[in-house]
Amino acid sequence: MHKRTKVKITFFVILVGMASMFTAVVTDHWAVLSPRVEQVNATCEAAHFGLWRLCKKAIYISEADYNGKGCGPISLPGAENCTYFKHFTPGDESEIFEVKTQKEYNISAAAIAIFSLAFMILGTLCLLCSFKKGNDYILKPAGMFFAFAGLCAIISVEVMRQSVKRMIESEDTIWIDYSYAWSFACACAGFCLLFLSGIGLLLLSMPRMPQNPWESCMDAEHEVE
């Protein structure tokens, strides 16, 4: 397969990875949190959140089987109320996380995700420039940018995972149960596609290896002549 064709296939995979990561960043279904159901025939508030917004959903519980368990599932009908996080407002305390350390985790995850988007944009610009004849050398920085974007994505995922873990373990919050949702899965998929595609571009940017041991010897003889 020709090198140009390999680059185009890798670019298609990168586009899928970018779409996955962008979807993860702008949506709010990274994690679902559930408080304990204290009584039946009453409402409880489950929540799902992402990097920028948290949504609380009032779910009516009528079955006795849910008593003492986590509120949900989140797919049940109910009134939903969403609020945006004020990540970068100095001195602003979040009413959502209740613990300052947990808010800092969420700020870190959002900031790292923004770096991932920036690396994706830089990588795309480099890759588009490499399609011009004689610009194959730009594949190397493009591959590095996409690999960095993938690394930022998985770091953001891990920071968010630690944030959810601390919220569940903290005595200052009401959450007793959690699950990761489809936005979290999109971020993981974005990491895999972007990081592997970045490594692939780096490999494609390397000089072609000789197909047989005599090929390099023949090149050496021509250089001597």
| Nearest partner of 33 among 45, 42, 41, 25, judged by Cα | 45
The string over 181-196, giving b where at least 16 C-beta atoms fall within 10 Å of a residue's C-beta and e elsewhere, is: bebbbbbbbbbebbbb
Q: Look at 50 and 23; give whichever has higher pLDDT.
A: 23
| Nearest partner of 191 among 138, 112, 100, 86, judged by Cα | 112
- Residue 116 confidence (pLDDT): 94
- Residue 66 confidence (pLDDT): 60
Query: Is the pLDDT score of 157 beyond 70?
Result: yes
Across 36-184, the runs of DSSP E, i.e. the strands, are: 42-49, 53-61, 78-84, 175-180
Place of tokens 């290896």: 209
**Predicted model pTM:** 0.78
- pLDDT 10s digits, 48-64: 888 888 888 887 776 66
Cα 212 from Cα 208, distance rounded (Å)? 12
Bridge partner residues of 35 (DSSP): 175
| Nearest partner of 167 among 52, 47, 64, 82, judged by Cα | 47
- Residue 220 confidence (pLDDT): 44
Hey, what's the torsion of the CAs at 110, 154, 95, 78, to 10 degrees? 110
- pLDDT 10s digits, 116-146: 999 999 999 998 888 887 777 888 999 999 9
Query: Is the pLDDT score of 189 beyond 80?
Result: yes
Judge contact between 71 and 61, C-beta under 8 A.
yes
Judge contact between 173 and 26, C-beta under 8 A.
no
Average pLDDT over residues 41-49: 78
- pLDDT 10s digits, 63-105: 665 655 667 677 777 777 887 776 544 444 444 444 455 667 7
Tokens of 76: 């049940």
